[in-house]
Amino acid sequence: MNRRIDVSLTVNGEKVSRSVDTRTHLIDFLRSELGLTGAHTACEHGVCGACTVRVDGDAVRGCLVMAASLDGAVVETIEGLSDTGEIRDLQAAFVARNASQCGYCTPGMLVSAADILKHAPNASRDDIREHISGNYCRCTGYQAIVDAIDDVLKARRESEAA
């Protein structure tokens, strides 16, 4: 079997083609091959959530996805989500609520939070806590993070109703 695989995929709207080592997970691929250093490498076994990105529209652990398996995939990282403006209000709320302290968990936290905004617009604070329970913040800034997400959900619901 091959230890290098040719893949062509779309990352943040741009087509990229590379030959990747099969040992490479998606996050090392994004960081080392493409220079997209927003998603962070941390625990590397699927526990901490710092590497959360989107593949084909769904939030995934980048460290538990083989880059070699992604031929034809659509990948979105925090850089892409920032550029499209999809989560501009969420990012502003993180700043306003001081929900980003050392910042290491923040990109993954934002991608997970974007998932709530998309799939569970009526999420309660408990729902938010449950949803981000797989994203660790070692500054333990969870209260502010939940506040920020809750603010955005409420604001979006209000603008929807208006």
Residues 93-112 that bind another protein (CB under 8 A): 112
- 14-73: which residues touch another protein (CB under 8 A)? 22-23, 25, 28, 44-46, 49, 52, 58-61, 63-66, 68-69, 71
Buried b (16+ CB within 10 A) or exposed e, 128-146: beebbeebbbeeebbebbb
Q: Strand order in 58-61's β-sheet? A: 14-21, 4-11, 74-76, 52-55, 58-61
Question: How near is the Cβ of 15 to another protein at its closest, in Å?
Answer: 20
Residue 110, token pair as written in the block: 């934002």
> Of the two residues 60 and 92, which places its CB atom closer to another protein in the complex?
60
Interacting residue ranges for another protein, rule: CB under 8 A: 1-3, 5, 22-23, 25, 28, 44-46, 49, 52, 58-61, 63-66, 68-69, 71, 112, 115, 129-131, 133-135
